[in-house]
Amino acid sequence: MDRAELFQRIQQKRSFLCVGLDPDPDRIPASFDGDVLAFNRSIIDATREYAVAYKPNTAFYEALGLDGMRILHATIDYIGRDHLIIADAKRGDIGNTSGYYARFAFETLGADAITVAPYMGEDSVRPFLSYPGKWAIVLAVTSNEGGDDFQHTVQQDTGTALYDKVMRRVMEWGSPDQLMFVCGATRAETFSTLRSIAPDHFFLVPGIGAQGGDLQAVCRFGMNAQCGLLVNSSRGILYAQDPARAARELQQEMQSALENYLPEVSQ
């Protein structure tokens, strides 16, 4: 799914909701009798009309061993092609190995996008950019407390935070049609800076719901003319009493934000 198509879906659905598919066997309702795939299908059925993207985090499937790979495949097949599918795997290695990570995400799984850690530099990210129509979503400002350890440290040479330097460098490697950035909702105060660094890129925004991020501030400072945001909620939807309702409420908040900040495209 390319950028124009993604924006079209956002306009049609009046939503930029990404539902995180992170099935925790200890939290799946007893009525599913431990059937993770059936649980995922129920969540997809409940949220399909409110979401434009799904983000299975591969950790939850890898932990289930061989069965987990089967469930991940079947989950992606069940989502179909109407939603952007993001494999949240945070990969990145020497180029040869990254090539195989890219092959796994884009060919084996059939995902549209994969999250990538930029720490190993250009040759570790390039292989993810060689698939037309696919996306590398590079970690910029993460939602966890440990993000302070490196990402926000001020660099002597530029006088800016490390994330600023990383984003500008990464933007030299590919276009806004190939690259997005992960920007955590718990760091809402950084969004106007993030947007000034990358005016055209989509941001994948985790951290609302269970992590307490600020959706309104993210929308206010993070939107661009094509919305430019995919806001993720995983546990806040998966383990809600009524997942459809949780997704609908988020979609309604997003619809209001689109009406407020992009009135010309939200008619």
Ligand X SMILES: O=c1ccn([C@@H]2O[C@H](COP(=O)(O)O)[C@@H](O)[C@H]2O)c(=O)[nH]1
**Alpha carbon of 206 to those of 158, 199, 235: distances in Å?**
28, 19, 11
- DSSP class of residue 11 equals H
In the chain, the amino acid numbered 166 is V
Neighbouring-strand partners of residue 161: 154
CB 51 within 8 A of CB 82: no
Q: How far is the CB of 160 from ligand X (least distance, A)?
A: 20
Q: Residue from 151, 236, 243, 250 that binds ligand X (CB under 6 A)?
A: 236
Nearer to ligand X, 42 or 232 (CB): 232
Nearer to ligand X, 24 or 200 (CB): 24
* Burial of 8 per CB tally in 10 Å (0-12, 13-18, 19+): middle
Q: Interface mask (CB under 6 A) for ligand X, residues 20-39, using x and -?
A: x-x-----------------
Give the helix/strand (H/E) hosting 54: strand 51-56
Q: How far is the CB of 133 from ligand X (least distance, A)?
A: 23
| Positions 131 through 150 that interact with ligand X (CB under 6 A) | 142-144
228 binds ligand X (CB under 6 A): no
- Catalytic residues, by residue number, are 90
Q: Residue from 44, 51, 182, 250 that binds ligand X (CB under 6 A)?
A: 182
57 binds ligand X (CB under 6 A): yes
Residue 40, classed as helix, strand or coil, is helix
Question: Rule CB under 6 A: which residues touch ligand X?
Answer: 20, 22, 57, 88, 142-144, 182, 184, 206-207, 209-211, 232-236
